[in-house]
Amino acid sequence: MAERRRRFGYDRAVGLLGGACAAAVFLFLIAPLVVLVVSSFNRDASMAFPPSGLSLRWYAEVLGSPDWQVSFRLSGILVLMVVPTTVVIGTLAAYGLAQGSFPGRRLLQGLALSPLMVPEIITALGLLYYFHGVGLINSVPGLWLAHSLVALPFVVRAVMVSAANLDPALERAATSLGAGRVRVFFTVTLPLLRPGIIAGAILAAVTSLGEVAVTALVAGANTTTVPLRIFSAVQYQLDPSMAAVSTLLMAASVVVMVIADRFARISEAL
Amino acid sequence: MTRARRWAGLTYVAPLVVFLTALFLVPLVELLRLSFSPVDSYNTALPGFTLDQYKRVFTEPYFYGSLLETLATALLVATLCVLLAYPAAYVLARRAPGTMRTLLFVIVISPLLTSVVVRTYGWVVLLSGNGVVNRLLVATGLRDEPARLLTSYPSVVIAVTHVLLPFAIIPLTTALGGLDHNLHRASQTLGAGPVRTFLRVTVPLSLPGVVTGALIVFALAMGIYITPLLVGGVTQPLAGIRVYDQVETVFNYPVAAALSFALLALTLLSTTLLAGGFRIWERRLHG
């Protein structure tokens, strides 16, 4: 009995220790983000933590700055361009890859996901050199294509999860009832793929909103997205206005995610 | 499925193939060609074929040293990520669905949904001269004066580990969540305590998740450059930063291209070797 009690105590201690480790890891994950949000409300121009007093002056400064306004507009426009592009191309591809059994399917699947496997600096350098040749450096179309390239594999992967679970009998039933192929796709297939498409759209939006690795090389003075402006500013100065922008950017991602979570489980797509 | 339908799949994939060929494959091939180009004294690429750029990459310590340093850093980060991911994934997988679980899950994926710049900037704030970490160090008497944490190698490892940690937690949570709970009960009925059950049953069965997470983190860590650049500065001896430096300050594109492909080759080679090693280990473990 005593032996059992001692073992129970030992196991409990180990369990508590594991729990404490997990808590430390969660704290590690969230700490930098929390610090940023709190610093953005600082009254003074220092990044001291905890802040000496609270104010919204950095938000007023950022939202009133023409430079930042241009960046916010550009980032918004890019999301609106990148999401439809990647969702259309990615959904069609994921459906074809999951349903078809043509030769070379595995190879194409590898190709579709390959931008994820290549180090980001190489994708960036490749696009930089290529865009120089075709005059797309420092242009909105250039960034649109670059962000679409980075976001596309996430969409393909997200939609493939839904497409793999698709029951072909449903499409066959619709066909046998007289629906044409196009009608089947739009009235049967697409609604069934909806969770994957929504998850993919969110990932594409968040990717485009936060992209820096490729943007840093292919953008220019006229096409500074919000994260790129943070990137160049942080290298030279530290003041709470950057924390305010970062918080706004985070808030944008959280809004996108909360909306999406009502429709789809993002966790499955990652 | 009819023959026509089988091939129909290919038409759906066609736009993606066109897109990736134009914006991914062609640029990579062009870049590969550039890496074999000779340069003049202004680092402008000239027509012709030369192995000079690769010779430089593999003989100058500035370049090959950065490749080795990157490899060591990526291995370190992958190890740290797996070790840190385990307790978090374990808690996440065992927790019943509910508000707490959702909250923890949001914490885990929150770094993925915020820009890498934002996450890194958080670390810059934490590690700066009068940042939280330094204040804690001074207040607890561990240091007499603030330490220079930014632009140091440890800060790079910390920030990169933070940025990549979710990629280790997610597959591990999936693997741990899929374990049959009866196995735990069986082990405990047979007399093993929770600790022994964890070490002899849970850990071996979760290895596929560990392997997936470790490989993803390793591959991403090989090519990461924004985070180490922001936290550690341009002098950090990592290959990604050296490529960026060649492009942005030296303007030597051919050498940047050669170093990139050396990095890509090293990434593919070591990922393949690691995956093979893990497979042998797993096979031995499960008999």
The per-residue pLDDT for A48 is 66
The per-residue pLDDT for A92 is 93
ipTM of the complex: 0.86
Averaged pLDDT, A42-58: 76
- B15, B108, B121: residue with CB nearest A230: B121
- Angle formed by the axes of helices A2-39 and B153-177, nearest 10°: 120
Chain B contacts of A89, Cβ < 8 Å? 15-16, 19
Chain B contacts of A29, Cβ < 8 Å? 88, 107-108, 110-111, 162, 165-166
pLDDT digits (tens, 9 = 90+) for A235-265: 777 778 888 888 888 888 777 777 766 655 5
Confirm if A189 and A80 have CB atoms less than 8 A apart.
no
How many angstroms separate the CA of residue A79 from the nearest CA in chain B?
A: 14
A175 in contact with chain B, both atoms CB, cutoff 8 A? no
Question: What average pLDDT is seen over chain A?
Answer: 85
8 Å CB contact of A238 and B128: yes
8 Å CB contact of B114 and A249: yes
Confirm if A213 and B226 have CB atoms less than 8 A apart.
yes
The per-residue pLDDT for B1 is 47
Confirm if A90 and A84 have CB atoms less than 8 A apart.
no
How many angstroms separate the CA of residue B285 from the nearest CA in chain A?
A: 24
Chain B contacts of A227, Cβ < 8 Å? 115-118
The per-residue pLDDT for B66 is 95
Q: Is the per-residue pLDDT at A69 higher than 70? A: yes
Chain A contacts of B11, Cβ < 8 Å? 96
What's the rounded Cα separation, in Å, for the pair B163 and B117? Answer: 10
Query: SS3 for A27?
Result: helix
8 Å CB contact of A127 and B115: no
8 Å CB contact of B28 and A211: no
Q: Break chain A down into helix, strand, coil percent, rounded to 5.
A: 80, 0, 20
The per-residue pLDDT for A261 is 64
8 Å CB contact of A130 and B30: yes
In this prediction, what percent of chain A has a pLDDT beyond 70?
90
8 Å CB contact of A120 and B194: no
Q: In b/e form, how buried is each residue of A237-264, taking b as 16+ CB within 10 angstroms?
A: ebbbbbbbbbbbbbebbeebbeebbeeb
A260 in contact with chain B, both atoms CB, cutoff 8 A? no
B255 in contact with chain A, both atoms CB, cutoff 8 A? no
Please indicate, yes or no, whether the overall pTM of this predicted structure exceeds 0.80. yes
8 Å CB contact of A122 and B261: yes
**Residue ranges of B 135-194 with Cβ closer than 8 A to chain A:** 135, 162, 165-166, 170, 193-194
The per-residue pLDDT for B243 is 93
Q: Where is average pLDDT lowest: A7-11, A69-73, A265-269?
A: A265-269
Per-block mean pLDDT, blocks of 10 residues, chain B (287 long) = 65 93 95 90 82 92 94 96 92 82 82 81 82 80 77 90 92 82 76 76 82 90 90 90 91 92 94 89 75
Q: Is the per-residue pLDDT at A222 higher than 80? A: yes
pLDDT digits (tens, 9 = 90+) for A141-182: 999 999 999 999 999 988 988 888 888 888 888 888 888 888
The per-residue pLDDT for B125 is 82
Listed in sequence order, the residues at least 6 apart from A240 whose beta carbon sits closer than 8 Å to its beta carbon are A39, A40, A41, A42, A44, A45, A46, A47, A58
